[in-house]
Amino acid sequence: MKTQNLKIYFLTALTIGFYSCNSNEDSTKEASIAEVHDQIVNVTHHDGRPFSTGKTTNSLTGKYVANPGGGVMMQAFYWDVPAGGTWWDTVSTKVTEWSNAGIGSIWLPPASKAQNGAFSMGYDPTDYFDFGDFNQNGSTETRFGSKTELVSLITKAHTENMQVYADIVINHNSGGASESNPFTGTNTWTNFTGVASGKFPRTYADFYKNSFGNNDEGAFGGFPDLCHAAPNVQDWLWKRADGVGKYYKNTMKFDGWRFDYVKGFGTWVVKDWNANVGGFSVGELWDSNVNTLEWWANNANSSVFDFACYYKMNDAFDGNNLNLLNDDMMWKRNPYKAVTFVTNHDTDEIWTKELAYAYILTHEGYPTIFYRDYEEWLNKTKLNNLIWIHNQKATGTTSILYTDNDEYIARRNGYNGNPGLVVYINNSDTWQERWIQTNWTNAQIKDFTGNSTWFPTTQGDKWVKIQCPPKGYSVWSINM
Protein backbone atom coordinates (compact mmCIF):
# COMPACT_ATOMS: atom_id res chain seq x y z
CA MET A 1 0.00 0.00 0.00
CA LYS A 2 1.38 3.36 -0.98
CA THR A 3 2.26 5.76 1.85
CA GLN A 4 1.65 9.44 1.31
CA ASN A 5 1.47 12.38 3.68
CA LEU A 6 -0.88 15.24 3.01
CA LYS A 7 -1.30 18.69 4.37
CA ILE A 8 -3.99 20.31 2.29
CA TYR A 9 -4.90 23.91 1.79
CA PHE A 10 -7.29 25.30 3.85
CA LEU A 11 -16.60 26.91 6.43
CA THR A 12 -22.80 28.67 6.50
CA ALA A 13 -24.52 29.83 8.12
CA LEU A 14 -26.60 30.15 11.15
CA THR A 15 -28.42 33.39 11.56
CA ILE A 16 -28.60 34.57 15.12
CA GLY A 17 -32.06 35.59 16.22
CA PHE A 18 -31.21 39.26 16.53
CA TYR A 19 -32.93 41.19 19.28
CA SER A 20 -34.14 44.29 17.50
CA CYS A 21 -34.10 47.48 19.55
CA ASN A 22 -35.99 50.60 18.53
CA SER A 23 -34.68 53.86 19.98
CA ASN A 24 -38.25 54.96 20.78
CA GLU A 25 -39.14 51.79 22.66
CA ASP A 26 -38.04 50.42 26.03
CA SER A 27 -38.65 46.77 25.29
CA THR A 28 -36.87 44.49 22.85
CA LYS A 29 -38.68 42.57 20.18
CA GLU A 30 -37.76 40.02 17.56
CA ALA A 31 -38.78 40.30 13.93
CA SER A 32 -40.45 37.56 11.95
CA ILE A 33 -38.23 35.32 9.87
CA ALA A 34 -40.44 36.17 6.91
CA GLU A 35 -39.41 39.81 7.07
CA VAL A 36 -36.31 40.04 4.90
CA HIS A 37 -34.78 43.37 3.98
CA ASP A 38 -32.89 43.82 0.73
CA GLN A 39 -31.41 47.30 0.32
CA ILE A 40 -28.61 48.83 -1.73
CA VAL A 41 -26.53 51.36 0.16
CA ASN A 42 -25.25 54.60 -1.35
CA VAL A 43 -21.61 53.58 -1.22
CA THR A 44 -20.21 52.26 -4.49
CA HIS A 45 -17.08 50.55 -5.75
CA HIS A 46 -14.48 52.46 -7.72
CA ASP A 47 -16.24 51.41 -10.92
CA GLY A 48 -19.66 52.56 -9.71
CA ARG A 49 -21.23 49.19 -8.89
CA PRO A 50 -23.49 48.95 -5.81
CA PHE A 51 -21.65 48.07 -2.63
CA SER A 52 -23.69 45.36 -0.94
CA THR A 53 -27.07 43.68 -0.92
CA GLY A 54 -27.13 43.87 2.86
CA LYS A 55 -29.79 41.25 3.53
CA THR A 56 -30.59 40.56 7.18
CA THR A 57 -32.94 37.89 8.46
CA ASN A 58 -34.41 37.82 11.96
CA SER A 59 -36.15 34.89 13.60
CA LEU A 60 -38.80 34.04 16.13
CA THR A 61 -38.22 30.32 15.87
CA GLY A 62 -35.10 29.84 17.97
CA LYS A 63 -31.67 31.02 18.97
CA TYR A 64 -30.15 30.07 15.63
CA VAL A 65 -31.64 29.62 12.19
CA ALA A 66 -29.66 28.18 9.29
CA ASN A 67 -29.32 30.94 6.74
CA PRO A 68 -26.10 31.97 4.96
CA GLY A 69 -25.14 35.51 5.78
CA GLY A 70 -25.50 35.51 9.54
CA GLY A 71 -24.25 33.81 12.67
CA VAL A 72 -20.76 32.90 13.84
CA MET A 73 -18.89 29.69 13.00
CA MET A 74 -16.12 28.03 14.99
CA GLN A 75 -13.44 26.10 13.11
CA ALA A 76 -13.20 23.44 15.77
CA PHE A 77 -9.72 22.13 14.96
CA TYR A 78 -6.25 23.12 13.83
CA TRP A 79 -3.52 21.31 11.93
CA ASP A 80 -2.05 18.41 13.93
CA VAL A 81 -4.48 18.47 16.83
CA PRO A 82 -3.36 15.94 19.47
CA ALA A 83 -3.44 12.37 18.20
CA GLY A 84 -4.75 9.53 20.35
CA GLY A 85 -8.47 9.64 19.60
CA THR A 86 -9.40 12.35 22.10
CA TRP A 87 -10.34 15.29 19.87
CA TRP A 88 -14.09 14.63 19.59
CA ASP A 89 -14.26 14.49 23.39
CA THR A 90 -12.19 17.68 23.68
CA VAL A 91 -14.57 19.57 21.40
CA SER A 92 -17.55 18.15 23.30
CA THR A 93 -16.32 19.86 26.46
CA LYS A 94 -16.31 23.21 24.62
CA VAL A 95 -19.64 23.39 22.82
CA THR A 96 -21.76 24.57 25.77
CA GLU A 97 -19.38 27.47 26.43
CA TRP A 98 -19.25 28.29 22.72
CA SER A 99 -23.02 28.25 22.43
CA ASN A 100 -23.38 30.50 25.47
CA ALA A 101 -20.93 32.90 23.85
CA GLY A 102 -23.14 33.10 20.76
CA ILE A 103 -21.34 30.73 18.39
CA GLY A 104 -23.93 28.99 16.24
CA SER A 105 -22.02 26.32 14.33
CA ILE A 106 -18.89 24.21 14.40
CA TRP A 107 -16.81 23.01 11.46
CA LEU A 108 -15.16 19.64 12.11
CA PRO A 109 -12.14 18.10 10.34
CA PRO A 110 -12.66 15.20 7.88
CA ALA A 111 -14.25 12.57 10.08
CA SER A 112 -13.67 9.32 8.19
CA LYS A 113 -10.71 6.91 8.11
CA ALA A 114 -7.81 8.05 5.96
CA GLN A 115 -4.63 6.36 4.76
CA ASN A 116 -2.51 7.38 7.74
CA GLY A 117 -5.10 6.03 10.16
CA ALA A 118 -4.73 7.30 13.70
CA PHE A 119 -2.14 9.88 12.58
CA SER A 120 -4.08 11.41 9.68
CA MET A 121 -5.84 14.76 9.74
CA GLY A 122 -8.32 13.19 7.34
CA TYR A 123 -7.40 14.86 4.07
CA ASP A 124 -6.21 11.58 2.52
CA PRO A 125 -9.54 9.68 2.67
CA THR A 126 -9.77 5.93 2.21
CA ASP A 127 -13.15 4.81 3.59
CA TYR A 128 -15.87 7.48 3.82
CA PHE A 129 -18.00 5.24 6.06
CA ASP A 130 -15.37 4.35 8.66
CA PHE A 131 -15.73 6.92 11.45
CA GLY A 132 -13.48 5.03 13.83
CA ASP A 133 -15.32 1.72 14.05
CA PHE A 134 -13.32 -0.52 11.66
CA ASN A 135 -9.78 -1.79 12.11
CA GLN A 136 -8.06 -0.65 8.93
CA ASN A 137 -5.09 1.51 7.96
CA GLY A 138 -3.40 0.59 11.22
CA SER A 139 -6.08 1.65 13.70
CA THR A 140 -9.70 1.39 14.68
CA GLU A 141 -10.26 4.94 15.87
CA THR A 142 -9.39 7.90 13.68
CA ARG A 143 -6.99 10.55 14.95
CA PHE A 144 -10.02 12.28 16.46
CA GLY A 145 -11.77 9.34 18.14
CA SER A 146 -14.49 6.75 17.63
CA LYS A 147 -17.81 6.87 15.83
CA THR A 148 -19.59 6.76 19.18
CA GLU A 149 -17.67 9.82 20.36
CA LEU A 150 -18.40 11.66 17.11
CA VAL A 151 -22.13 10.93 17.34
CA SER A 152 -22.09 12.09 20.96
CA LEU A 153 -20.41 15.36 19.93
CA ILE A 154 -22.92 16.04 17.14
CA THR A 155 -25.82 15.24 19.48
CA LYS A 156 -24.48 17.57 22.16
CA ALA A 157 -23.96 20.38 19.66
CA HIS A 158 -27.55 20.01 18.48
CA THR A 159 -28.72 20.07 22.10
CA GLU A 160 -26.93 23.41 22.39
CA ASN A 161 -28.80 24.59 19.27
CA MET A 162 -25.64 24.59 17.16
CA GLN A 163 -25.14 23.17 13.69
CA VAL A 164 -22.27 20.89 12.71
CA TYR A 165 -20.48 21.06 9.37
CA ALA A 166 -18.46 18.17 7.90
CA ASP A 167 -15.21 18.76 6.04
CA ILE A 168 -15.73 16.82 2.79
CA VAL A 169 -12.72 15.73 0.70
CA ILE A 170 -14.02 14.46 -2.64
CA ASN A 171 -11.27 15.54 -5.04
CA HIS A 172 -8.89 12.67 -4.30
CA ASN A 173 -8.50 9.43 -2.36
CA SER A 174 -5.57 7.62 -0.80
CA GLY A 175 -4.83 4.18 0.59
CA GLY A 176 -6.15 2.01 -2.22
CA ALA A 177 -4.55 -1.23 -3.33
CA SER A 178 -2.45 -1.50 -6.46
CA GLU A 179 -4.15 -2.73 -9.64
CA SER A 180 -3.38 -2.96 -13.33
CA ASN A 181 -4.84 0.11 -15.04
CA PRO A 182 -5.54 -0.16 -18.77
CA PHE A 183 -5.96 3.61 -19.10
CA THR A 184 -2.43 4.34 -17.89
CA GLY A 185 -0.71 1.12 -18.90
CA THR A 186 0.72 0.91 -15.40
CA ASN A 187 -0.32 -0.19 -11.94
CA THR A 188 -2.16 2.50 -9.96
CA TRP A 189 -3.24 2.68 -6.32
CA THR A 190 -6.92 2.89 -7.24
CA ASN A 191 -8.50 -0.31 -5.94
CA PHE A 192 -10.83 0.54 -3.06
CA THR A 193 -13.05 -2.54 -3.33
CA GLY A 194 -11.68 -3.85 -0.04
CA VAL A 195 -12.66 -0.94 2.23
CA ALA A 196 -13.79 -2.28 5.59
CA SER A 197 -17.22 -0.64 5.52
CA GLY A 198 -18.01 -2.33 2.21
CA LYS A 199 -19.50 0.94 0.95
CA PHE A 200 -18.42 3.01 -2.06
CA PRO A 201 -16.23 0.34 -3.67
CA ARG A 202 -14.23 1.85 -6.53
CA THR A 203 -11.56 0.96 -9.03
CA TYR A 204 -9.46 2.61 -11.72
CA ALA A 205 -12.67 3.19 -13.70
CA ASP A 206 -13.67 5.79 -11.07
CA PHE A 207 -10.47 7.82 -11.31
CA TYR A 208 -8.82 9.87 -14.04
CA LYS A 209 -7.53 8.76 -16.55
CA ASN A 210 -10.60 6.74 -17.54
CA SER A 211 -13.29 6.41 -20.18
CA PHE A 212 -14.62 9.87 -19.27
CA GLY A 213 -11.39 11.74 -19.94
CA ASN A 214 -7.77 12.27 -19.03
CA ASN A 215 -8.19 14.67 -16.13
CA ASP A 216 -10.61 17.12 -14.55
CA GLU A 217 -9.95 20.63 -13.21
CA GLY A 218 -7.06 19.66 -10.98
CA ALA A 219 -5.33 16.73 -9.29
CA PHE A 220 -3.73 17.16 -5.88
CA GLY A 221 -0.48 15.87 -4.44
CA GLY A 222 -0.22 12.86 -6.69
CA PHE A 223 -3.27 11.21 -5.14
CA PRO A 224 -5.73 9.29 -7.33
CA ASP A 225 -8.13 11.89 -8.70
CA LEU A 226 -11.82 10.96 -8.40
CA CYS A 227 -13.85 11.27 -11.59
CA HIS A 228 -17.18 12.86 -10.71
CA ALA A 229 -18.54 12.15 -14.17
CA ALA A 230 -18.46 8.41 -13.39
CA PRO A 231 -21.97 7.19 -12.46
CA ASN A 232 -20.62 5.05 -9.60
CA VAL A 233 -18.93 8.11 -8.06
CA GLN A 234 -22.01 10.30 -8.37
CA ASP A 235 -24.25 7.59 -6.94
CA TRP A 236 -22.10 6.93 -3.91
CA LEU A 237 -21.18 10.55 -3.18
CA TRP A 238 -24.53 12.31 -3.41
CA LYS A 239 -27.31 10.42 -5.20
CA ARG A 240 -27.87 7.19 -3.25
CA ALA A 241 -30.00 7.26 -0.11
CA ASP A 242 -27.20 5.34 1.62
CA GLY A 243 -24.40 7.29 -0.07
CA VAL A 244 -21.90 9.63 1.53
CA GLY A 245 -23.88 12.88 1.49
CA LYS A 246 -27.24 11.51 2.59
CA TYR A 247 -25.72 9.14 5.15
CA TYR A 248 -23.75 11.98 6.69
CA LYS A 249 -26.82 14.20 6.77
CA ASN A 250 -29.60 11.78 7.67
CA THR A 251 -27.79 9.20 9.80
CA MET A 252 -24.77 11.01 11.23
CA LYS A 253 -26.82 14.24 11.41
CA PHE A 254 -24.30 16.66 9.91
CA ASP A 255 -25.99 19.92 8.94
CA GLY A 256 -23.69 21.12 6.19
CA TRP A 257 -20.45 20.85 4.30
CA ARG A 258 -17.08 22.49 3.90
CA PHE A 259 -15.88 21.31 0.49
CA ASP A 260 -12.12 20.88 0.37
CA TYR A 261 -10.00 21.94 -2.64
CA VAL A 262 -12.87 22.83 -4.95
CA LYS A 263 -10.40 23.90 -7.63
CA GLY A 264 -10.05 20.18 -8.32
CA PHE A 265 -13.54 19.59 -9.72
CA GLY A 266 -16.34 21.41 -11.52
CA THR A 267 -18.82 23.73 -9.85
CA TRP A 268 -21.59 21.41 -11.04
CA VAL A 269 -20.44 18.81 -8.50
CA VAL A 270 -21.21 21.02 -5.49
CA LYS A 271 -24.39 22.31 -7.14
CA ASP A 272 -25.63 18.76 -7.74
CA TRP A 273 -24.63 17.68 -4.22
CA ASN A 274 -26.54 20.61 -2.72
CA ALA A 275 -29.60 19.90 -4.87
CA ASN A 276 -29.65 16.20 -3.91
CA VAL A 277 -28.44 16.31 -0.31
CA GLY A 278 -29.15 19.81 1.00
CA GLY A 279 -27.65 21.56 4.00
CA PHE A 280 -25.34 24.55 4.23
CA SER A 281 -22.22 24.47 2.07
CA VAL A 282 -19.04 26.50 1.71
CA GLY A 283 -16.21 25.91 -0.74
CA GLU A 284 -12.49 26.30 -0.18
CA LEU A 285 -11.57 28.16 -3.36
CA TRP A 286 -8.14 29.52 -2.55
CA ASP A 287 -8.16 32.60 -4.79
CA SER A 288 -7.92 36.30 -3.95
CA ASN A 289 -9.77 37.35 -7.13
CA VAL A 290 -13.27 38.37 -6.08
CA ASN A 291 -14.60 37.80 -9.60
CA THR A 292 -13.47 34.19 -9.42
CA LEU A 293 -14.99 33.73 -5.97
CA GLU A 294 -18.31 35.21 -7.06
CA TRP A 295 -18.35 33.12 -10.23
CA TRP A 296 -17.72 29.93 -8.28
CA ALA A 297 -20.33 30.69 -5.58
CA ASN A 298 -23.02 31.48 -8.15
CA ASN A 299 -22.32 28.44 -10.30
CA ALA A 300 -21.94 26.05 -7.38
CA ASN A 301 -24.96 27.51 -5.56
CA SER A 302 -22.83 27.65 -2.45
CA SER A 303 -21.11 29.97 -0.05
CA VAL A 304 -17.37 30.44 -0.50
CA PHE A 305 -14.54 31.45 1.82
CA ASP A 306 -13.80 35.13 1.27
CA PHE A 307 -10.10 34.91 0.43
CA ALA A 308 -10.37 38.36 -1.19
CA CYS A 309 -11.27 39.79 2.23
CA TYR A 310 -8.56 37.73 3.93
CA TYR A 311 -5.76 39.04 1.74
CA LYS A 312 -7.05 42.64 1.86
CA MET A 313 -7.12 42.49 5.66
CA ASN A 314 -3.58 41.13 5.70
CA ASP A 315 -2.33 43.97 3.50
CA ALA A 316 -4.40 46.59 5.31
CA PHE A 317 -3.70 45.76 8.95
CA ASP A 318 -0.17 44.40 8.70
CA GLY A 319 0.80 46.81 5.91
CA ASN A 320 -0.62 49.92 7.63
CA ASN A 321 -2.90 50.90 4.77
CA LEU A 322 -6.52 50.71 5.89
CA ASN A 323 -7.54 52.40 2.63
CA LEU A 324 -7.32 48.90 1.15
CA LEU A 325 -10.51 48.03 3.03
CA ASN A 326 -12.31 50.11 0.40
CA ASP A 327 -11.40 47.45 -2.16
CA ASP A 328 -13.75 44.78 -3.44
CA MET A 329 -14.42 41.61 -1.43
CA MET A 330 -16.85 38.72 -1.68
CA TRP A 331 -18.96 39.93 1.25
CA LYS A 332 -19.52 43.18 -0.63
CA ARG A 333 -20.73 41.26 -3.68
CA ASN A 334 -23.02 38.92 -1.77
CA PRO A 335 -22.80 38.63 2.03
CA TYR A 336 -25.07 35.59 1.95
CA LYS A 337 -22.41 33.62 0.07
CA ALA A 338 -19.32 35.00 1.83
CA VAL A 339 -17.67 33.20 4.75
CA THR A 340 -15.08 35.51 6.27
CA PHE A 341 -12.10 34.41 8.37
CA VAL A 342 -8.88 35.68 9.96
CA THR A 343 -6.90 32.45 9.99
CA ASN A 344 -7.42 28.72 9.53
CA HIS A 345 -5.58 25.40 9.73
CA ASP A 346 -3.65 26.14 6.53
CA THR A 347 -2.82 29.83 6.58
CA ASP A 348 -2.00 32.20 9.42
CA GLU A 349 -0.54 35.34 7.86
CA ILE A 350 -2.42 38.15 9.63
CA TRP A 351 -0.56 39.36 12.71
CA THR A 352 -2.94 42.15 13.73
CA LYS A 353 -5.64 39.65 14.51
CA GLU A 354 -7.71 41.62 17.02
CA LEU A 355 -8.36 44.34 14.46
CA ALA A 356 -9.16 41.74 11.82
CA TYR A 357 -11.70 40.05 14.08
CA ALA A 358 -13.20 43.45 14.90
CA TYR A 359 -13.61 43.90 11.16
CA ILE A 360 -15.25 40.59 10.24
CA LEU A 361 -17.47 40.46 13.35
CA THR A 362 -18.96 43.89 12.65
CA HIS A 363 -19.34 43.54 8.89
CA GLU A 364 -21.57 41.53 6.61
CA GLY A 365 -20.87 37.91 5.76
CA TYR A 366 -20.58 34.78 7.88
CA PRO A 367 -17.55 35.18 10.21
CA THR A 368 -15.45 32.20 11.27
CA ILE A 369 -13.38 32.04 14.46
CA PHE A 370 -10.30 29.82 14.55
CA TYR A 371 -10.04 27.39 17.48
CA ARG A 372 -6.53 28.37 18.57
CA ASP A 373 -7.27 32.09 18.30
CA TYR A 374 -10.25 31.63 20.62
CA GLU A 375 -8.93 29.01 23.03
CA GLU A 376 -5.19 29.76 23.15
CA TRP A 377 -3.80 32.81 21.39
CA LEU A 378 -6.14 35.79 21.77
CA ASN A 379 -8.18 37.39 24.53
CA LYS A 380 -11.34 35.29 24.80
CA THR A 381 -13.22 38.00 26.68
CA LYS A 382 -12.64 40.45 23.84
CA LEU A 383 -13.67 37.89 21.24
CA ASN A 384 -16.84 37.08 23.19
CA ASN A 385 -17.64 40.78 23.29
CA LEU A 386 -17.26 41.02 19.52
CA ILE A 387 -19.43 37.92 19.04
CA TRP A 388 -22.12 39.54 21.18
CA ILE A 389 -21.86 42.75 19.16
CA HIS A 390 -22.12 40.77 15.92
CA ASN A 391 -25.21 38.92 17.08
CA GLN A 392 -26.99 41.87 18.64
CA LYS A 393 -25.94 44.99 16.72
CA ALA A 394 -24.40 44.11 13.33
CA THR A 395 -27.54 44.43 11.21
CA GLY A 396 -28.33 46.02 7.88
CA THR A 397 -26.28 47.29 5.00
CA THR A 398 -22.78 48.76 5.26
CA SER A 399 -21.58 52.30 4.56
CA ILE A 400 -17.88 53.14 4.76
CA LEU A 401 -17.63 56.56 6.40
CA TYR A 402 -13.88 57.26 6.52
CA THR A 403 -10.55 55.65 5.69
CA ASP A 404 -6.90 56.61 5.64
CA ASN A 405 -3.73 54.62 6.22
CA ASP A 406 -4.38 54.24 9.96
CA GLU A 407 -8.12 54.69 10.45
CA TYR A 408 -11.26 52.97 9.20
CA ILE A 409 -14.84 53.84 10.14
CA ALA A 410 -17.92 52.04 8.82
CA ARG A 411 -21.62 52.10 9.66
CA ARG A 412 -24.03 49.17 9.72
CA ASN A 413 -27.31 50.82 8.90
CA GLY A 414 -29.57 48.68 11.07
CA TYR A 415 -32.73 46.81 10.22
CA ASN A 416 -36.30 46.50 11.44
CA GLY A 417 -35.84 48.55 14.61
CA ASN A 418 -32.33 47.36 15.38
CA PRO A 419 -30.22 50.55 15.27
CA GLY A 420 -27.07 48.98 13.81
CA LEU A 421 -23.63 50.24 14.77
CA VAL A 422 -20.57 52.28 13.87
CA VAL A 423 -17.19 50.52 14.03
CA TYR A 424 -13.98 52.55 14.36
CA ILE A 425 -10.64 50.76 13.80
CA ASN A 426 -7.40 52.57 14.63
CA ASN A 427 -4.08 51.08 13.58
CA SER A 428 -2.01 54.06 14.75
CA ASP A 429 -0.08 54.41 18.00
CA THR A 430 -2.24 57.19 19.48
CA TRP A 431 -5.89 57.79 20.34
CA GLN A 432 -7.91 59.14 17.42
CA GLU A 433 -11.16 61.11 17.22
CA ARG A 434 -13.51 61.74 14.30
CA TRP A 435 -16.80 63.47 13.60
CA ILE A 436 -19.02 61.01 11.76
CA GLN A 437 -22.64 60.94 10.58
CA THR A 438 -24.84 58.29 12.16
CA ASN A 439 -28.43 57.24 11.50
CA TRP A 440 -29.46 58.44 14.96
CA THR A 441 -30.95 61.83 15.88
CA ASN A 442 -30.46 63.26 19.38
CA ALA A 443 -29.50 59.87 20.76
CA GLN A 444 -26.97 59.02 23.44
CA ILE A 445 -24.51 56.42 22.18
CA LYS A 446 -21.76 54.38 23.78
CA ASP A 447 -18.85 52.15 22.86
CA PHE A 448 -20.06 48.60 23.44
CA THR A 449 -16.48 47.32 23.67
CA GLY A 450 -15.81 49.45 26.73
CA ASN A 451 -12.59 50.73 25.15
CA SER A 452 -13.93 54.29 25.31
CA THR A 453 -15.73 55.76 28.30
CA TRP A 454 -17.45 58.48 26.26
CA PHE A 455 -21.25 58.72 26.18
CA PRO A 456 -21.77 61.32 23.45
CA THR A 457 -25.15 62.44 22.12
CA THR A 458 -25.75 62.74 18.41
CA GLN A 459 -26.85 66.11 17.10
CA GLY A 460 -30.07 66.94 15.32
CA ASP A 461 -28.30 66.36 12.01
CA LYS A 462 -27.07 62.95 13.30
CA TRP A 463 -23.40 63.97 13.53
CA VAL A 464 -21.30 63.03 16.56
CA LYS A 465 -17.68 62.80 17.61
CA ILE A 466 -16.34 59.35 18.52
CA GLN A 467 -12.92 58.09 19.54
CA CYS A 468 -10.80 54.97 19.23
CA PRO A 469 -7.80 53.70 21.23
CA PRO A 470 -4.38 53.10 19.65
CA LYS A 471 -3.99 49.75 17.89
CA GLY A 472 -7.58 49.11 18.81
CA TYR A 473 -11.23 49.48 17.95
CA SER A 474 -14.49 50.84 19.29
CA VAL A 475 -18.05 49.92 18.35
CA TRP A 476 -20.79 52.50 18.87
CA SER A 477 -24.53 52.17 19.04
CA ILE A 478 -27.50 53.65 20.87
CA ASN A 479 -27.18 53.37 24.66
CA MET A 480 -30.07 51.17 25.72
Backbone phi and psi for residue 439, each to the nearest 5 degrees, phi listed first: -100, 15
Residue 351: helix, strand or coil by DSSP? coil
Please indicate whether residue 284 is annotated as part of the active site.
yes
Burial class (CB in 10 A: 0-12, 13-18, 19+), 295: middle
Element (H, E) at 432: strand 432-437
DSSP-derived secondary structure letter, 134: S
Residue type, 92: S
- Omega before 209 within 30 of 0, i.e. cis: yes
Cβ-contact 34, 59 below 8 angstroms: no
Cβ-contact 366, 315 below 8 angstroms: no
Cβ-contact 321, 347 below 8 angstroms: no
CB atoms under 10 Å from CB of 79, counted, come to 15
Find out whether 171 is annotated in a ligand binding site.
Answer: yes
Residue 207: helix, strand or coil by DSSP? strand
Task: Tell me how far CA of residue 82 lies from CA of 7, 78, 133, 138, 347, in angstroms.
Answer: 15, 10, 19, 17, 19
CB atoms under 10 Å from CB of 125, counted, come to 28
Query: Can you tell me the distance from the alpha carbon of 280 to that of 66, in angstroms, rounded to the nearest whole number?
Result: 8
Among 124, 127, 216, 260, the one annotated catalytic: 260
Evaluated on CA atoms 434, 435, 439, 440, the torsion sign reads positive
Among 272, 284, 294, 306, the one annotated catalytic: 284
CB atoms under 10 Å from CB of 455, counted, come to 10
Cβ-contact 333, 294 below 8 angstroms: yes
Residue 37: helix, strand or coil by DSSP? strand
CB atoms under 10 Å from CB of 402, counted, come to 13
> Annotated catalytic sites, by residue?
260, 284
Annotated binding site for Ca(2+): 171, 235
